[in-house]
Amino acid sequence: MTGRCDSVRRSPVNIPSTRGTAGFVATIRPMLSDVECILLEQVAQAPSPLNTMLRQAVVGGKRLRPTVILLLGSLLSGGAERLVQIAAAVETLHVATLIHDDIMDGSPVRRGRETIHVRWSVRDGVLAGDYLLAASAERIARLGDTALMEVFARVLTIVCGGQMAETHPDSGTVRGLDAYRRDIEAKTASMIAGGCEMSAMAAGAARDAVDKAREFGRRLGIAFQMTDDVLDLVGDEQQLGKPRGSDLRQGLLTLPTLLYLEQGKPADTVARVIEDAGERSKETIAAAIEMICASGAVDAAADEACRHADAALAVLSGLGPKQPAETVAILENALRDLVAYAVLRQR
């Protein structure tokens, strides 16, 4: 990826792509621990055997959303207790949507373990997701700030609309680039944007800073999802926790494949894999991935992710934090690390 993501790479802290999340969480570790405790306690309080199912769903996530909410809120001098509650609520909502997404996509495995609807039943999966949706709404409601609740509920509506758009693309045709960009905005970016917005609101930031916080989250979310879609084709299978090309196997067209198709190639293996579910053997999927990589479409997709990461960093520098300069430097660097992590994760 030499030459790409230049401004991300110019980040003051050098980021080895294998470092994972260790570096940037140091500044907010105590708050992240509190979020973890809340997530586990919340799950333990559920009636049995729901608690067992929810525990499996909740443990082991990357905690990207809590991390960005806590870092951004701290940068804007938000109180720890409220930020922790918002972070816990947004992560809970995220896990709820994962559980329902896995049912909707028929995914058998998540984070290397059988999904709830497979290990238990669809019935339990529906309920587990509903329970976490309710728990996250209740947590935000208890903060006693209707503006926060409104953002939260709006995010929920947008996320559902995005899932519907992905499930039923317009007029039965193959999803195009515009639809892809719109869908990841709704499905992934809106929740991270909403989390950042709530984080800034809870910190008492001015309207302008709240808007910038949301835009930061939106750009970060888009960069993160595009990178996820790149990694699905070229990532390390161990790290992915699933075989490469699982999106293609589901007939789901993401950025690299869509950029490949835009090159107007004649009908080939990629087209066959997309159009015919019977053509999705391990070998044809591997061949299709090879062709998409060779065409430069994977690099182009990674470039697009980096442009959004750059845009996120540009917004960040205009945020006007209220903290002492030294603290700002630490938190800003951590956020830069996070943005870099979002797009420079190991292939």
Positions in the binding site for its own copies (CB under 8 A): 46-50, 100, 103-106, 122-124, 126-127, 129-131, 133-135, 137-138, 140-146, 149-150, 152-154, 156-157, 159-161, 163-165, 167-168
Our CB check for its own copies shows the closer of 118 and 143 to be 143
What are the residues whose beta carbons fall under 8 Å from the beta carbon of 167, sequence distance 6 or more? 104
Q: How far is the CB of 323 from its own copies (least distance, A)?
A: 29
Our CB check for its own copies shows the closer of 28 and 87 to be 87
Our CB check for its own copies shows the closer of 5 and 148 to be 148
Our CB check for its own copies shows the closer of 59 and 141 to be 141
Q: How far is the CB of 163 from its own copies (least distance, A)?
A: 6
Paired tokens of 160: 């559902």
In sequence order, what DSSP letters do the residues of 268-288 get, joined into one string? -HHHHHHH-GGG--HHHHHHH
Q: How far is the CB of 165 from its own copies (least distance, A)?
A: 6
What are the residues whose beta carbons fall under 8 Å from the beta carbon of 267, sequence distance 6 or more? none
Residue for token pair 């009636």: 47
Q: How far is the CB of 122 from its own copies (least distance, A)?
A: 6
Our CB check for its own copies shows the closer of 149 and 293 to be 149
CA angle, residues 150, 152, 157, in degrees to nearest 5? 95
Closest CA to 56 of 138, 133, 158, 124: 124
Q: How many angstroms separate the CA atoms of 18 and 113, rounded?
A: 23
Our CB check for its own copies shows the closer of 59 and 126 to be 126
Q: Find out whether the peptide bond into 12 is cis, omega within 30 degrees of 0.
A: no
* DSSP SS3 for 296: coil
CB atoms under 10 Å from CB of 194, counted, come to 28
Paired tokens of 222: 């888009």
Our CB check for its own copies shows the closer of 160 and 293 to be 160
Closest CA to 95 of 118, 62, 67, 120: 62
Q: How far is the CB of 253 from its own copies (least distance, A)?
A: 18
Q: How far is the CB of 171 from its own copies (least distance, A)?
A: 10
Q: Could you tell me which residues are beta bridge partners of residue 114?
A: 109
Our CB check for its own copies shows the closer of 49 and 112 to be 49
Paired tokens of 290: 């090879």
Paired tokens of 330: 């630490």
What are the residues whose beta carbons fall under 8 Å from the beta carbon of 29, sequence distance 6 or more? none
Q: How far is the CB of 159 from its own copies (least distance, A)?
A: 8
* DSSP SS3 for 149: helix
Q: What is the DSSP letter of 18?
A: T
Q: How far is the CB of 123 from its own copies (least distance, A)?
A: 4
